[in-house]
Amino acid sequence: MSASTSPRTRLRRGRLFRAIPTAWRTPLAMVGAIIALAWIVIALIAPWAAPHDPLAQQLPRLTAPGDASVLGTDQVGRDVFSRLLTGARVTMPLALLMVVSATVLGTLIGSIAGFVGGWVDETLMRLTDLIMAFPTVILAMIIAASLGPSLLNAVIAGIVVSWPQYARVVRSLVLSLRTQNFVIAGRLLGYSPWRSLRSDILPNVAGPVLVLASLDIGTAILLLTGLSFLGLGAQPPAAEWGSMISGAMSHIDAWWLGVFPGLAILTVVMAFNFIGDSLRDALDPLSSAEREGAAGGTEHEEPAAVENPTTEEGR
Amino acid sequence: MSTVLEATDLAVEYRGHRTVRAVDGVSLTISAGEVLALVGESGCGKSSTARAVIGMEKPHSGDIRFRGAPVPPLGLRRRKAELTAMQMVFQDPNSSLNPRKRVGDQIADGVTAARSRGLSSDAPRQWLGAVGLDPDMVTRYPHQFSGGQRQRIAIARALAAQPDLLVADEPISALDASSQSEVASMMRRLVLQAGAGMLFISHDLSVVRIMADRVAVMYRGRIVESGPTAMVWADPVHPYTKALLGAIPHPDGKGVLPAAPAAEAPAEWHEELPGALDRG
Amino acid sequence: MSALSIRDLTIAFGRHDPVQVVSGISLDLSPGKIQGLAGESGSGKTVSAMAVLGLLPATAQVGGSIRLGTTELVGLRPRELNRVRGRRIAMVFQDPSASLHPQLTIGAQLTDHVRAHLRLNRRDARQRAIDLLTQVHVPDPAEALRRYPHQFSGGQRQRIAIAVALACDPEVLLADEPTTALDVTVQAGILHLLRELVDQRDLAVLLVTHDLGVMSAVADDVAVMRHGQIVESGSTHDVFTTPQHAYTRTLLESMPDAQQSLVEDDE
């Protein structure tokens, strides 16, 4: 039997490596992955797939979905379908940019705080407390408003409000890892602090941070569309889902103006949350052990501390 | 024989709502080519002594010198190359290795440490062979090994650094009984072959008997008796040493119950017997 | 007449693709005797003891027979098993904290237990608790009743756990690595106590341990387990002095006691 297929071996392997393939096996993750992939494809092909220029005001105004226009037209005669497809190109990459930046910033600050400790840690953690003390959305609104309404500023506001959660998680992981024997062994072998962080600590922080980030993509999309809805993000005439809904507010009887971008936001957020949830479950040792079923019982009674190398080979 | 480690009047304290003095004035020396075993029961301070010696713990007071130079506690700075000649093997083999790194690369870190001091060291493959594992396993990750095998890998990594001193904190107590004395003997052999010294921490006196040149018995933070292993074994002087040795059950099938002390922690165990120290 | 008779016990885990961890072991426990069960981690010794108590998870499939006197324990309904467990079969674990509630006084735990099972009134139950603590040599039993588990040393806690186990006068005591977590001087005391209680009360004991020294000191008979099977059994003296099976020999030879010192005498 090859090592990678035996359930016993899978239990012991690095959790992240194990988690990704198992995560895809749950139906929830499959649904999430398919929807997310579909939206990514849409975003990529939107310029060619859109039947009309998303900004051109050339169609009859406020026509209901029908033959002329699949999803209808808006108050100035733009094609809702074309705007919806183009919107995917705006929101998703920016949400991703926001999450990646917040992750990098949070991981950097969190690992410095955890590794250096002392007053550096104290100062950085009070800073995260300060930011986390405010309701996220309100704080993002204040920052976006003070920077001036634009989509980029909305992204910056998003990064400012979301890095502290990464910093806190990373800090606590680093704090527990730095006292682990293998990290100390590295230091005794002459690792510099930077090397210790890079080669011993951060690779073991990656798993939980990845889960946090994947769960955060949905939130980021919601935040960006929300800020655009409030007029603090994307500016007219940009084709952005949040501002599309915002524009629909004054034409409440033209239901198609709000419903379709709303559905777009709903499905994207849901898809990324499904993926994040499944990834978290797969990384959680408890739930993955349950899934292993058969091998679970023997492992739990008497841990397989086999001295004989040949039994290891056999698995 | 040259002295590699000299600890004088070492004290380690842990602050909490009540400050605990785990190590209370311990002095010991280890020479090249000798194994000193520090034995005692749980909580006697033997592990704290080991951690202080290697620099994992900042001593409250006392002096630690490695080859004559003071040993600063591990801090934020990179450890000086000379001090990579002190290596450590830990009790728990599961947390001793980086789970995300191939074992060969981890052993290679030891080799790098040896080279940084201008010494040569074998390749990771050879080190794996030296500790009794298949050299082809260098490309594997720690989770692909059993606990006992991981401990061997940790030993290989420490020895690959060509240390002058190996500090081993209960290195065999997490292993199956049948492999304990084998691993302990292997450690002794490899350390002595390299001309290094070893501080071997253990609560298992039967293993210590076969592999330590000298033994120091610790009780409640102090060394109560020390001397050549065979001498302490044959003729213990301190009441605590006597009780400890008398309590070991022997697998001889004779059905003899080991001697049990009349009370828990009798007062005589606390006695200071200057004649019991540095015997021989 | 044996107090507990295990015949062809098999234990497997997992529904589809079950893994067999115990394959057909047979053991007899006699009153007044300590039966040792030796083996290394993963040999199936602890699982076997758990099966006697019916403490295996639901995924376990148990086959064969475990008879306590005339009662068959394999396949017994949980409620009936509960009546047996604690009253007729008691257990002592490696970690005494596992059988003691951290937030109840020793008195509460001991008296509740005997009152529930033996229907004693408060005064009799208290007297019985004091008697039990006296038997396990806990100093100042009346005072000990008022204290909490954490106020005792590890060795005293294990003595109290034994007192709790003996509260209902069980016929059979299962001791799973009862001294493994203890220091060697404390262990010696517990071994003395175990032997004394077995002799006084005619207890039948199954002692599960990997420590052959402990086994040799207190067990009357020994069974050596490996890979879910008993490879050798017999009187302790015979098994230790003239081991028949190669595995038993390997185990004994690997003990430091059997080895010469590696230190060369150069003086």
pLDDT at A4 over 60: no
Q: Which residues of chain B have pLDDT under 70?
A: 1
Q: Please check whether residue A60 touches C, CB under 8 A.
A: no
Residue A298 located in a structural domain: no
Domain count within chain C: 1
pLDDT at C149 over 70: yes
Domain count within chain A: 1
The answer to whether A297 contacts C14, with C-beta atoms less than 8 Å apart, is: yes
Q: Please check whether residue C98 touches B, CB under 8 A.
A: no
Q: Which two tokens stand for residue A305?
A: 């501390």
C-chain residues near B254 (CB < 8 A):
216, 237, 240
What pLDDT digit, counting tens, does each position of B232-261 carry? 999 999 999 999 999 999 999 888 899 988
Better-predicted residue by pLDDT, A10 or B150:
B150
Better-predicted residue by pLDDT, A72 or B117:
B117
Residue C160 located in a structural domain: no
What is the pTM for the complete model shown?
0.85
pLDDT at A306 over 70: no
**pLDDT > 70 in chain B, percent:** 100
Contacts of C among chains (3+ CB pairs under 8 A)? A, B
Q: Which two tokens stand for residue A132?
A: 């986390």
Average pLDDT score, chain C: 91
Closest C-alpha among A237, A221, A226, A273 to residue A88: A221
Residue C32 located in a structural domain: yes
CA distance B231 to C99: 42
Residue A269: per-residue pLDDT = 93
Residue A10 located in a structural domain: no
Residue C202 located in a structural domain: yes
The answer to whether A192 contacts B78, with C-beta atoms less than 8 Å apart, is: yes
Residue A59 located in a structural domain: yes
What pLDDT digit, counting tens, does each position of A86-131 carry? 999 998 999 999 999 999 999 999 999 999 999 999 999 999 999 9
Strand arrangement, sheet containing C19-29 = C19-29, C4-13, C60-68, C71-72
Average pLDDT score, chain A: 82
Give the single-character DSSP code of A79.
Answer: B
What pLDDT digit, counting tens, does each position of A195-228 carry? 999 999 999 998 889 889 988 999 999 999 999 9
Query: Could you list the residue range(s) of the whole structural domain that residue A201 is in?
Result: 28-289
Residue C236 located in a structural domain: yes
Contacts of A among chains (3+ CB pairs under 8 A)? B, C
Residue C50 located in a structural domain: yes
Residues 6+ apart with CB under 8 A from A147: A153, A156, A157
User: Chain A: nearest CA to C65, how far in angstroms?
Assistant: 21
In CATH, what number is assigned to the domain containing residue C208?
Answer: 3.40.50.300
Range name among A66-80, A86-100, B101-115, C41-55 with the lowest pLDDT average: A66-80
Q: Please check whether residue C58 touches A, CB under 8 A.
A: no
- H/E stretch holding C127 reads helix C122-135
Would you say A182 and B96 are in contact if contact means Cβ atoms under 8 Å apart?
yes
Query: Could you list the residue range(s) of the whole structural domain that residue C48 is in?
Result: 4-96+170-254
User: Chain B: nearest CA to C104, how far in angstroms?
Assistant: 24
What pLDDT digit, counting tens, does each position of A148-159 carry? 999 999 999 999
Query: Taking CA B152 as the corner, what is the angle to CA B150 and CA B155, rounded to the nearest 5 degrees?
Result: 110
**Mean local confidence (pLDDT), A78-87:** 92
Residue C64: per-residue pLDDT = 93
What are the residue ranges of helices labelled H in A117-239? 118-132, 136-147, 151-177, 181-188, 193-195, 202-229
**Mean local confidence (pLDDT), C183-202:** 94
Residue A84 located in a structural domain: yes
Residue C113 located in a structural domain: no
Choose from A62-76, A209-223, C25-39 the range with maximum mean pLDDT. Answer: C25-39
Q: Please check whether residue A302 touches C, CB under 8 A.
A: yes
CA distance A76 to B50: 78
Residue C109 located in a structural domain: no
**pLDDT > 90 in chain C, percent:** 67
Residue A207: per-residue pLDDT = 86
In CATH, what number is assigned to the domain containing residue A169?
Answer: 1.10.3720.10
Nearest CA in chain A to C15: A294
pLDDT at A293 over 80: no
What pLDDT digit, counting tens, does each position of B53-84 carry? 999 999 999 999 999 999 999 988 899 999 99
Provide the β-strand partners of residue B167: B88, B199
Residue C117: per-residue pLDDT = 77
User: Chain B: nearest CA to A280, how far in angstroms?
Assistant: 19
Residue A24: per-residue pLDDT = 62
| Structural domains of chain B, with CATH | 3-276 (3.40.50.300)
pLDDT at A294 over 50: no
Name the pLDDT band for A143 (thresholds 50, 70, 90). very high
| Helix A118-132, helix A80-116: angle, nearest 10 | 150
What pLDDT digit, counting tens, does each position of B14-33 carry? 998 889 999 999 999 999 99
Residue C59: per-residue pLDDT = 84
C-chain residues near B212 (CB < 8 A):
263
The answer to whether C254 contacts B188, with C-beta atoms less than 8 Å apart, is: no
